[in-house]
Amino acid sequence: MPVMEEPTKTEWKAPRLYTAEERTKAVAEYRDSGLSAWKYAEQAGINYWGLKRWLAEAGRGEAVVGKPRLVPVRVKRATSLGGEERIEIVLGEGTVVKVPAGMTALRIGEVVQAVRKAC
């Protein structure tokens, strides 16, 4: 009579935590790869659903994605319009965006992206 072996237990491992830099790099590499998200995650050895979450975060401006672009910047003193200080941003194509001086950099980036898409 054959001897039956006990089924082996699979050990549970906590998911690996990735730094912001690693997540940003993975998203940029995925976008440059031309692969499906599933295939890229499999080849890179990362969780598919984690990659999908990182992509969603990047789409909302929560992560810096891709290679940063350096652009010339000229800093002037904030102007006052109606008693409220404003920052004026002149985009390369001549579009001018005026935002409150206290606005966060993340929010300014979202505003600039929205203006670029609309123009």
- pLDDT given at position 107: 82
pLDDT in tens, 94-104: 778 888 877 88
Q: Any residues with CB less than 8 A from the CB of 57 and at least 6 apart, and which? A: 23, 63
pLDDT of 68 higher than 50: yes
Strand spans (E) along 1-119: 79-81, 84-90, 96-100
Average pLDDT (48-68) is 71
Between CA 101 and CA 35 the distance in angstroms is: 41
pTM value surpassing 0.75: no
Q: For residues 68 and 28, is the Cβ–Cβ distance under 8 A? A: no
Helix (H, G, I), strand (E, B) or coil at 96: strand
Average pLDDT (79-100) is 73
Locate the domains of the chain by residue range: 20-59, 79-118
pLDDT in tens, 1-43: 566 666 666 666 677 888 888 888 898 898 888 888 899 999 9
